[in-house]
Structure 1
Amino acid sequence: MIVTESEEQQALRSSVAALAQRYNYVDYVLPKSRRHEPLTELWSEASKLGFLGVNLPEEYGGGGAGIYELALVQEELAAHGCGLLLVVVSPAICGTIISKYGTSGQKEQWLPGLADGSKIMAFGITEADAGSNSHKIGTVAKRDGDDWILSGNKVFISGVDQADAVLIVARTEDAASGKLRPALFIVPTETAGFVRTPMEMDIIEPDRQFALFLDDVRLPSNALVGEPDAALAQLFAGLNPERILGAAMAVGMGRYALDAAVKYANERTVWKTPIGAHQGIAHPLAQRKIEVELAKLMMQKAASLYDSGDDFGAAEAANMAKYAAGEAAIASLDQAIQTHGGGGLTQEYGLAAMLGAARIARVAPVSREMILNFVSQHSLGLPRSY
C-alpha cells in the first residue's frame, strides 16, 4: 500500500494544484454553480495537461497510471474548491469499464476522447424503483435480430447535457427476476428514443442531474460492452473507482474547508488575540484535521488495492473510504462555518453552498446506511439484514 508518494505522484499533485489555484472557488466555481453552468474552462485546461486520463492506457492516449493517480487529481482539484464531478463518471467509471471489457473497436472509438477530455461519457445505473437495490434494475435489453432494444427509466444521472454518450446498465430480458445479470450498453445521447429531462435540485452545483427515458431505443450489436449476462465483477470494475473518486472529492472538500477556517482563525482577532489561539476554536479544527487525514489514508488504501487487482479488498476499503470521507467533509465544512461565525453563512465565503454539495457524499453514489450494511455483513460477518 502506498503511504509515501513517489516523486512522480508528488509532481502530479503540484501540477494539479497549480492549475486549480487559477480557478478560484468564490470567483469562478461558485458563480458558475449558481447558474448551473459546467466548469468547461477548467475541464478543457485539465484535459490539455493530461490530468483527466491519467488512469487510462497509454496506447489510447492516457497516462498509463492507475485509479490512485486519478484520485490524486480529483483530491487536489477539490482541495482548491474546484473538484470535477465528471472525473468520477467519465474516466473513472466508464473509461475503466471500457478499458477492461470493451471490444477493440469500442476502445479505439472512445478511449482516446475520454483520455484527452474531448469526449464525455455519463453513467446510467440509478432507478427510482430499485433505489440502492441494483439487483432489481428494471431497464430491459431485448434482442431483435442483431440489434438490441432498450426500454426503461433512470434518475439522478449526472452531466448528461455535457455527454456524448451514456453507459447504461440494463438487464437481459430473461433476467427479469432472480440475481442481477447486468448488461452494459453505450448509448449516444442523440439516439432516437433517448429522452433526458433535467431534475430540479435544491443544491448549488455546476453539473445538472437528469431523468432518462429509454423508449425502445434501438442499438447495434456493437453497443454492448462485455458480455450480455456478465458477472457482477464487470459492473463493479466501475463502481469501486466511483467510490474511491467520490472519497477523493470529499477529502478535498474537507481540506478546502480546513484551509479556509485556519486562514480566518489566524487573521480574525478578538481582544487583541487571534481566535485560533482559543481551544474552543483550535481543538475542533484539530479534530477535523485528524478525521480528514484518516479518510485520506483509507482512500489511498482503496486505490492501491484496486490498482493491485485485489477486488474484494478494494471494495471493502472503497466503501469505508467513501463513508469516512463524506463524514469528514461535512464535519469540516460545518466547523469552518462555525469558525467564521455569521460570515460563514455569507456568499463572500461560499462555505454554506459547499456544505450542501458535500452532503451528497452521504447519499451518493451509495448511502452510508448501505455501506454500514456492507461492513456489517462482509467485514464483521454479521447476518445479512436486507
Structure 2
Amino acid sequence: MRFTEPDERTALREAVAAFTAGYGPRYYREKAKAGAYLSELWAEAGKLGYLGVNIPEEHGGGGGGIGDLAAVLEELSAGGCPTLMMVVSPAICGTVLARFGTDGQRRRWLPGIASGESILAFAITEPDAGSNAHNITTTARRDGGDWLLTGRKTFISGVDVADAVLVVGRTEDARTGRLKPALFIVPTDAPGFEARPIEMDLVSPDHQFGLFMDGVRLPGDALVGDPDSGLLQLFAGLNPERIMAASLALGSARHALDTAVGYARQREVWGRPIGAHQGLAHPLAQIKVEVELARLMTQKAAALYDAGDDAGAGEAANMAKYAAGEAAARAVDQAVQTLGGNGLASEYGLGAAIASSRLGRIAPVSREMVLNYVAQHSLGLPKSY
C-alpha cells in the first residue's frame, strides 16, 4: 500500500503548477467579471497535453487515468484558475466516449477533447427531476434512420463554449415498451436546439444554461454505444465527475488556505504576525488537516476507478466529493475571517470565492444525496427516498 503518488504524477503536478502561475488568480477574476471564458489558458493547456492526460494514446491523449486528470485540475485550481469544463469535457464525456463510444465517435471527438480544440458539455439535470435521474423525461424516438430528441435540461455548464452536448435521455425498449436511459451527442448548432443563459450571482467564466430541445433531428450514429447499456454508460461518467469535482474543490481550498497563511505571516498587529495567535493559527491548521484527509480519499477514489473497481470507486468518489466540498467551504470562510476586511476586497478574490466554494456542497451531487448513498450502501440502512 502506497500513500505517495508516482514520480510521473508528481512531475505532472509541478509542470501544471508552473504553467498555471503564468496566468494566476487575477487572470481568472478578470475573465469571470468580463463574462468571458479562459480561452487562452484552455488552448495552451490543450497544446501541452494537460487536458487529455486520461484520453487513450491512440486518440491523441496521454493514456493515463482519471487520477492524472484530477491532479491537473487540482493544480489549476490551487493556482487560482479552476475551470469546471475539465470536469465535464475530458472527464465525463471523454471517459464515456473512450469506454463506450463507437469507433466513429471516438475518432470524431476524442482527439479534439484531448487537444482542447473540441469541448463537449454534459446534460442530465432537468427542471422537474432534480436529483432523481429516474424521472428524466427527455426522450428520443425513431424517425426512419434518424432520432428525434425532445426535452428540457437545466443548469448545464459551458454550452456557450461547447461544440456539442452529451445529452442523457430515454428511448423506448422495443421488447418491453418501457423507457430506458440513452446518451446522445447533440451539436449545439442543431436545428431545434436552444440554449438560454441562466442568470447567476456566481461570478465564474463557466456559465449555466437551460436547454430546450424540440424535435431535434439527429443521425442514427448520434446514439452513444450500445442502446441497451445506457445506464451503465451514464454511471461510468458519474464517478469521474465526483472525483474531478473533489479535485476542483481541493485545489480551491488550497488556494484559499495559501492566501490566508501568507497574509497571517505578514500582517502584524500588537507587534507580531497575526498568525502567531492561536485564535487564527488553530483554525488554519484544522483546515490543513481536513484538506489532506479529503485529498487522500480523492486519490483513493481515483486509484480504485483506474483499477477498474467501479463499485469501490463509487463509494470512495462520493465520500471524496463530500469531504472536499466541506473542506473548500470551510477554507474560504476561514480565509475571509483571517483577512478581516481585506477578505472581501477584490484584490484577494475571496469574496467571490464564498459563492463558488459553496457550489461544492451542492453540485454535481448534493451533500445530502451523498449522505443518503453512504447510509444506504456503506452502512446498510433502509433507503429513505
* Bin for the TM-score computed over the shorter chain: over 0.9
Q: Quick one: distance in 2 between partners of 1:84 and 1:179? A: 38
Residues 323 and 159 (structure 1), Cα distance of their counterparts in 2 relative to 1, 3 Å cut = same
Alignment partner of 2:250: what SS?
A: helix
1:221-254: CA deviation from partner (whole Å, max 9, x where unpaired): 1100012232522111111100000000000011
Q: C-alpha separation between the residues in 1 aligned to 2:288 and 2:77? A: 16
Distance in 2 (CA, whole Å) between partners of 1:310 and 1:178 is: 33
Q: Output the CA distance in 2 between the equivalents of 1:187 and 1:243.
A: 23
Distance of aligned partners of 1:2 and 1:142 in 2 relative to their CA distance in 1, 3 Å threshold: farther
Which contiguous aligned blocks of 4+ residues in structure 1 show a shift greater than 6 angstroms? 177-180
Inter-partner Cα distance in structure 2 for 1:31 and 1:335: 24
Q: Report matched runs for 1:151-300 at 5 Å.
A: 151-174=150-173, 181-300=180-299
SS of residue paired to 2:196: strand
> Aligned equivalents of 2:89 and 2:2: distance in 1?
25
Q: CA RMSD in A?
A: 1.4
Q: TM-score, normalised by structure 1?
A: 0.97
Q: Tell me the secondary structure at the aligned position of residue 195 of structure 2.
A: strand
SS in 2 for 1:171: strand
The residue that corresponds to 2:335 in the other structure is 336
CA distance in 2, matches of 1:70, 1:247: 12
Asked whether the 8 Å contact 1:103–1:226 carries over to 2, the reply is: yes
1:98-109 equivalent positions in 2, closer than 5 A: 98-109=97-108
Deviation per residue, 1:73-132 (Å, 9 max, x gap) = 000000011012111000000010000011101111111001111000000111010000
SS state at 1:206 partner? coil
Contact 2:147 2:220 in 1 (8 A): yes
In the alignment, does 2:10 pair up with 1:10? Answer: yes
1:341 shift after superposition: 0.6
User: Aligned with 2:165: secondary structure?
Assistant: strand
Aligned-partner residue type, residue 321 of structure 1: A
Q: Identical aligned pairs, as a percentage? A: 64
Structure-1 separation of matches of 2:2 and 2:22: 29
The AA in structure 2 aligned to 1:273 is: R
Provide the C-alpha distance between the structure 1 equivalents of 2:352 and 2:65, rounded to a whole number of angstroms.
Answer: 32
CA drift at 1:138: 0.5
1:197 aligned counterpart, secondary structure:
strand
CA contact (8 A) 1:159 1:207 kept: yes
What is the CA-CA distance between 1:23 and the residue it aligns to?
Answer: 1.1
Corresponding residue pairs, total: 384
SS of residue paired to 1:187: strand
Shift of 1:181: 2.6
Counterpart secondary structure, 1:377 = helix
Task: Kindly indicate whether the alpha-carbon contact (under 8 Å) linking 2:164 and 2:188 is maintained by their aligned counterparts in 1.
Answer: yes
- Alignment partner of 1:357: what SS? helix
Instruction: Work out the CA distance in 2 between the residues paired with 1:86 and 1:310.
Output: 25
Tell me whether 64-73 or 139-148 shows the greater mean CA deviation.
Answer: 139-148
Give the AA of the match of 2:339: H
Relative to structure 1, the CA distance from residue 129 to residue 298 in structure 2 (aligned partners, 3 Å threshold; closer, same or farther) is same
Q: Which runs of 5+ in 1 are unaligned?
A: none
Amino acid at match of 1:60: H
* Aligned amino acid, residue 21 of structure 2: Q
> Aligned partners of 2:359 and 2:347: how far apart in 1?
22
Mapping for residues 58-137 of structure 1, pairs under 5 Å: 58-137=57-136
8 Å CA contact 1:243–1:319 kept in 2: the answer is yes
* Cα separation, 2, equivalents of 1:331 and 1:16: 25
Are the aligned partners of 2:294 and 2:327 in contact in 1 as well (CA < 8 Å)?
yes
For normalisation by structure 2, the TM-score amounts to 0.98
Deviations 1:38-97 (A, max 9, x none): 111110111111000000000010000000000000000000110121110000000100
The residue aligned with 1:371 is: 370
From the superposition, tell whether residues 105 and 347 of structure 1 become closer, same or farther in structure 2 (CA, over 3 Å). same
Distance 2:382 2:330 in 1: 31
**Letter paired with 1:80:** G
Which residues of structure 2 form unaligned runs of 5+? none
CA distance in 1, matches of 2:246, 2:177: 31
Q: Is the 8 A contact 1:377 1:383 kept in 2?
A: yes
Classify 1:180/1:134 alpha carbon distance in 2 versus 1 (closer, same or farther; 3 Å). farther
Task: Quote the offset at 1:367 in angstroms.
Answer: 0.6
